[in-house]
Chains A and B, each alone.
Chain A
Amino acid sequence: MPQDTPSPIDLPEPELEQSGLGWTFGVIAIASLFLLCANASSLRDWIDDQPPSQAQQQAAEYADQWVDTTEGFGIGLPHKAMHDQWKRAEEARFPGSHRKDEVGEGADQ
């Protein structure tokens, strides 16, 4: 930083020599592709939430097909399993708790 304000970006060891741009593009591209395969339903839900138009309907169709494809290979299962586990943790109550169990309703649709 140009003044005495510390930035967390300045690491406490000497900088690596290699340029980081291509490396960062690689990291982001791999992470995006991974999520596109392992979490296809998020993309479908996002497209479904967009204002209706011809392009949106077309994209929604492709997204549905893509979700079917990834589910066919079982790629989306880990995400679903983790989500179900998390919902069980949310629904857990202390013994004797008075609370009606409404948090998890409809969560696993």
Chain B
Amino acid sequence: MLFPTLSFGLFFLVVFTVVWAANGSNEWRKILLLVASWVFYGAWDWRFVALLIVSAFLNWGSAELIWYNREGPARRRRAIMIAGVTGNLLILGFFKYYGFFVEQLGDVLHAAGYARDLPLMQVVLPVGISFFTFQGMSYLADVHAERLAPAKLLDVTLLMSFFPHLVAGPIVRGSDLLPQFEESPRLTRDMASMGLVLIVWGLFKKAVVASELSTGLVDPVFFDPASHSRLDLIAAAYGYAVQIYCDFSAYSDMAIGIAALLGYKFPLNFNQPYRAQSLQDFWRRWHISLSSWLRDYLYIGALGGSRKGFARQCLNLMLTMLLGGLWHGAKWTFVIWGGLHGGVLAIERIWDRIRPEGWPRLPRVLGILITFHIVLIGWIFFRAESFDAAIAYLKGIGTVGVASDVLTPLACVLILFGMAIHFTPVNLGQRLALQVRLLPAWALGLLVGVTILIVDAMRFEGVAPFIYYQF
């Protein structure tokens, strides 16, 4: 059930009505939301609803045990936390990385002269598994560090299953959402206005910009780079940069908006990432819930951040980004993407340290351009089917030939539009919401209806799944 479809629209109308009708009892409200979330998830595959429940039990039980032992030895609490995190990693590892590691092991054994038939299995990847396992792990780490008290089973299960963020984030931490579950929420005009602005804006970015660029330009070129000209390859690389932003940020916007209409606040996940002046700045703007998760729980929490010296800090950055790349999927192209980001982040730190006193800093525009193009090269690896395909793509950009087969005026306009929205005022959406909240219901209803009608007239026939569903 994809957000920009009529199926989801009808599902949401029912959930919205039923949940607010039950607002007198917070417990019943949460139970209804939980059932709705399972229906939403079960629309892909009912079997994996059981996985969600098992995962919630694992994290709830581990957190209870940690809390029960809070007066006991720290080593015991830590051991329980590690066991819980390991349980989450085993779930993630089995479903997401089993095939990849068996394949790599087979290659290594073959190279060493020990060719063996390893037990290959076709493991179906549950949608959104990377998101809810990360949520579970951060919940355990927060309870262990006593940043968060353990929550009731119902709340933990709802935290992990709540349908707006379930399949593609944002990674909403327990500390963000659990306190909001403690009492029945109130829907204010502010929340509803901003929620509606985000839903309609997300719908436009996904259904019009991302879908059009994907089907008309990016997919054909990345499918067969060798048969396209240099101009097509360059345009498709820029097109993919805009597509992945408009696709992923659209999902986040709609998730935040849908949660707001149900009375809950999710954190910001994107903040005009392509206006970043450095890669460090980029990661404060792109997929903020993942980058802050990796920073807090992996880079600082598990690896020690900068506490163990400068060399170790650079190594930690590299490791964090390599694992961040692997989080996206079991492919070497993701590892290379992470390595590129980690390497450049480390170089930025080193340059900050060795930069001679009095040397001018890069002009802002130059910083933005350089950062964007590093990100762009990373996206080629991220999008390519294999390492060889990414290298062939980059080589193709260096060849001659500018005649274009796929670049259209509309694609150019959409790419320019996708870049231009990064340089609008930062809180444009919030300013719009401040105006919208003053409108009478009938006027805003018509405005929302007309906008959705326009988007529907422009959308590509059918809706492709969101890119981040596969993660």
Contacts and interface: CB of A to CB of B under 8 A. Distances in A.
Interface of A: 1-3, 5-13, 15-16, 18-35, 38-39, 42-43, 46, 78-79, 82-83, 85-86, 89-90, 92-94, 96-99, 103, 107
Given A12-B430, A27-B192, A34-B450, A99 B405 contact: yes
Contacts of A26: 441-442, 445
Given A7-B268, A23-B441, A92 B408 contact: yes
Interface in B183-213: 186-196, 198, 212
Contact of B196 (A18, A27, A103): A27
A28 B195 CA distance: 12
B406 to A, nearest CB: 6
A8 B429 contact: yes
A13 B453 contact: no
B409 A7 contact: no
16 contacts: A3-B176, A8-B194, A9-B265, A11-B434, A20-B187, A22-B441, A23-B441, A30-B442, A30-B444, A30-B445, A32-B13, A38-B449, A46-B6, A83-B458, A89-B409, A92-B408
A61 B441 CA distance: 32
B20 interface: yes
Given A78-B453, A82-B454, A99 B406 contact: yes
Contacts of B186: 19, 21
B260 interface: yes
B190 A11 contact: yes
Nearest to B12: A28
B190 A9 contact: yes
Given A26-B442, A31-B449, A82-B457, A2 B176 contact: yes
A5 B177 CA distance: 11
Given A7-B265, A24-B192, A39 B453 contact: yes
A29 to B, nearest CB: 7
A21 B20 contact: yes
B469 to A, nearest CB: 20
Q: Is the interface of B mostly helix, strand, loop or mixed?
A: helix
Contacts of A15: 188-190
B448 to A, nearest CB: 4
Contacts of B409: 89, 92-94
A9 B191 contact: yes
Nearest to B437: A16
A43 to B, nearest CB: 7
Contact of B434 (A6, A13, A30, A35): A13
Contact of B192 (A6, A23, A93): A23
A39 B9 CA distance: 14
B321 interface: no
B60 to A, nearest CB: 20
B427 A12 contact: yes
A25 B444 CA distance: 11
Contacts of B406: 99
Contacts of A32: 13, 449
Given A5-B176, A28-B16, A97-B405, A11 B194 contact: yes
Contacts of A6: 267-268
A10 B188 CA distance: 11
Interface string B157-201: 000000000000000010110011000001111111111101000
Given A8-B194, A9-B256, A39-B453, A24 B187 contact: yes
Contacts of A94: 404, 407-409
